[in-house]
Structure formats: C-alpha cells, structure tokens
Amino acid sequence: MPRRHLPLPRLWLMTDERIVDLTSAVARLPKGSGVVFRHHATDTPVRRALFDRIKTIARRRRLILLLADTPTRAQAWGADGAHNRSALKSVGLRTIAVHDLSELRLAPRAKADLVFVSPVFPTRSHPDARTLGPVRMGLMIGDQRRRVVALGGMTACKFRRLRGLDLHGWAAIDAFA
C-alpha cells in the first residue's frame, strides 16, 4: 500500500540482527517515525515472519515501514516502500543510502524521497569506515539537504550538533536497541 502522501518521518530505526528485542524497539518509536527493515543475514522465511510482526506494530503505531530489498519484494510483503539502489522501480516511498559524493550525485536519478547519508559519526556497523563528521557532511550534501537523513553513530544529542545543516532527520540502530 503506497503511503507517499504521508509526511516523511524525521526519525528512523534501521534494523539488523544486533537488536535483540526488535518488537519492543519498534513499539517504543514515536508515532510517525520510520523503520527500515533490513535483517539481511536472516533466512528468508524467518525474515518474512519477523517483518510481518513488525508490520503489525508499525500499522498500529502509524509508522512508515520500508523493506531493504528489491522493490518487487517490498511491494509483495506490503511495505510502504523500498530502501535500496533500485529505488527508481519502487512503488511507494523510495530511499537510498549514500556514503560519498559520487553516490549522492546518483540520488536525483533514483528519484529517492529520502537519502540516508552515512557514516556521519563512528559506528559499530562499520567500525573501520572513514566518518564524514559535520563539516565534511555539510560540504558533501551542499544544497541537497531537503531530504537528507543522517546515519551512522547517531543519537538525538548528535543530531542536535548537526542542527546548522538543516537536515530532514536522523536514523540509527544502537540508539533504539
């Protein structure tokens, strides 16, 4: 069910297998938040069952739920959209992750509703990755701030440090686990 008419969330939970109690983490999100369901390392039948449980909570709490997978699978599973490089073919919301300027330049062609820029700060997800930090992130995104979501080592406090960048929002894993 496409939900492109809804306001785009400013707060996002990115899921992965590190979140021990995912259902509780999702249930604690403020109404109107978003969830990018990843769980790439989980076998498909188990992943689908978990996605369906999260979808039930998301609908009840009025959360936007994206599937980090193919647009075809996102639509088949009843997600509100897809999070991946093939976002152009998505029905519903379209989001992509970018890690450098060359990837960011591709975002307009993907017609992404939101662009998750990462890693802004040191993160357990990518411990050896070079972080952007506020200055490099600001230089990288330039005037494309309209739909940029900060990702990577993010917390509410760190997002406040980025206030001058006028970003759309922020996303995290550990901050919600």
Q: What's the pLDDT score for residue 90?
A: 60
Q: What is the structure's pLDDT at 5?
A: 57
Phi first, then psi, for residue 50 (nearest 5°) are -65, -40
pLDDT along the chain (177 residues), means of 10: 67 94 96 96 95 98 95 93 72 88 83 91 87 93 84 96 93 91
> Given this model, what pLDDT does residue 77 score?
96
What confidence score (pLDDT) does residue 105 get? 85
This prediction has a pTM of 0.91
Element (H, E) at 81: strand 81-83
Distances from the Cα of 173 to the Cαs of 19, 72, 138, 160, in angstroms?
8, 25, 22, 17
* pLDDT score for 84: 82
- Give me the pLDDT at residue 86, please: 60
Q: What is the pLDDT of residue 8?
A: 93
